[in-house]
Amino acid sequence: MTTIDINDKLLSKNDQHALANRRLLDSNGVWCVNIIGAPGSGKTTLIERTADKFAGDPEIGVLVGDLETRHDAERIAAHGVEVYQIITGGTCHLTARVVGEYLQRFDIGSLDVLIVENVGNLVCPTSYYLGEHNRMVLVSTPEGDDKPLKYPGAVHTSDLMLVTKTDLAPYTNFDVARAGENARRINADIDVFPVSCTSGEGLDQWFDWFGKHAAEKNSQQA
Amino acid sequence: MTTIDINDKLLSKNDQHALANRRLLDSNGVWCVNIIGAPGSGKTTLIERTADKFAGDPEIGVLVGDLETRHDAERIAAHGVEVYQIITGGTCHLTARVVGEYLQRFDIGSLDVLIVENVGNLVCPTSYYLGEHNRMVLVSTPEGDDKPLKYPGAVHTSDLMLVTKTDLAPYTNFDVARAGENARRINADIDVFPVSCTSGEGLDQWFDWFGKHAAEKNSQQA
């Protein structure tokens, strides 16, 4: 008797779409980062700050996933970047197929960076590779410093963990060093940067990381 | 040709287990509430405060769902209630089947209330009825007051929305009134209580709601 693992079959179809996305991004020298985080972890605000900082150099495009509403895309569009809202209508994650469809909307030859803001969810997006070059996870200080241990998949598959909302840390029992230790117990190689988009603390380290990855990918193509 | 909706079949199997749970709870006069919220929205802390407040009258049992770790169950057990940790090992929600299995661990005849703390996720748990009498959703102020609109399923299927961490509201742009309006656009009948487990603000209203629902169910059985 043969048993069929439905989940494996779905993942493999997703991976086929992801690899097509990756080829399209690579052939156009576009660096892609997939941002994962819980609802309210600060994904949209980080993208707003990043769009302001780079102001078209590199040229950033954004795809935003949400169950409902166009709020996030409207917020981001106000910062002068091309952005499309993907409304999943109840689905808990973005798939490579839908990202591939929305990729067609960009004039990809003029793009340097594609930021994908995934659905606010620390679980399901982790299992869906979208073709990105780097994945990152946001954990905000009000969520608690145990979250890397409780949501290990997000940390294990990410290259960078941003500890966001450090301005709120004094009002919580969040310990940034402990959060970093917890993250490195799951993924010894992960970078951990504390940032606050309100106070600006730590943003330069994030901008350096972002700019360096974008420049490396763009230079590969040139 | 007949097409088979796999999702419907799965849900219907879940619902069969949920109805069995409900019958077991009803026949023993146990009121069950299913708590849904994002990672770090304050589910565990709320249960700790509630266990302290009622101190065995009514007798509370707790099931806690997490992808990994026993942290939450250990925290709750310290408050003198019987608690079991359900480690889902990556699954993004609790199912009625697993709740039914863990229900067997309690001496259900001596229980008055079963609190289920679902996996930290505002999306997937919404689709799985566990047999609970009431469902509630937690939205913490650092998450933002747009969350009811962005995660409508959680609000639509809940009887109560607790706005948690109101002590942090002064440091965010969260507007409690606007969050309530957003919630009632999705679910006109939902109760909305602002609370802070740190300052204690609003907890009496929550305790009243909790105590009233438990007493009603217990009296039905008696």
Residues B133-142 have pLDDT tens digits of 999 999 999 9
| pLDDT, mean of residues A100-113 | 97
Structure token pair of residue A84: 């499309």
List CB contacts of A148: < 8 A, sequence separation 6 or more. Answer: A139, A155, A161, A179, A182, A183, A185, A186
* Nearest-by-CA chain B residue for A186: B68
* Nearest-by-CA chain B residue for A141: B40
How close B21 comes to chain A (CA, Å)?
Answer: 26
| pLDDT, mean of residues A189-207 | 98
List CB contacts of B72: < 8 A, sequence separation 6 or more. Answer: B43, B44, B64, B66, B85, B117
- Residue A118 contacts residue A95 (beta carbons within 8 Å): no
Residues A63-105 have pLDDT tens digits of 999 999 999 999 999 999 999 999 999 999 999 999 999 999 9
| pLDDT, mean of residues B81-93 | 95
pTM for the model stands at 0.92
Would the CB atoms of B92 and A38 count as touching at under 8 Å?
no
- Residue B98 contacts residue B130 (beta carbons within 8 Å): no
How close A121 comes to chain B (CA, Å)?
Answer: 6
How close A31 comes to chain B (CA, Å)?
Answer: 28
Only one residue has tokens 């499309």, namely A84
Q: Is A155 left (phi over 0), alpha (psi -120 to 50) or beta?
A: alpha
| pLDDT, mean of residues A111-129 | 97
Spell out which residues of chain A touch residue B67, defining contact as CB-CB under 8 Å. Answer: 123, 150-153
Would the CB atoms of A124 and B165 count as touching at under 8 Å?
no
Q: In the predicted model, is pLDDT for residue B56 greater than 50?
A: yes
Residues A130-174 have pLDDT tens digits of 999 999 999 999 999 999 999 999 999 999 999 999 999 999 999
Helix (H, G, I), strand (E, B) or coil at A218: helix
> B13-217 in CATH: which number?
3.40.50.300
- Tell the burial category of B24 from Cβ atoms under 10 Å away from its Cβ (0-12, 13-18, 19+): middle
CA A39 to chain CA mean position, Å: 13
The CATH architecture one would assign to domain A8-221 is 3-Layer(aba) Sandwich (3.40)
Spell out which residues of chain B touch residue A119, defining contact as CB-CB under 8 Å. Answer: 123
Mutate to test the interface with B, among A93, A121, A172, A174 (most CBs of B within 10 A): A121
Strands (E), B46-199: 60-66, 82-87, 113-117, 134-140, 160-164, 191-194
Enumerate the domain spans of chain B.
Answer: 13-217
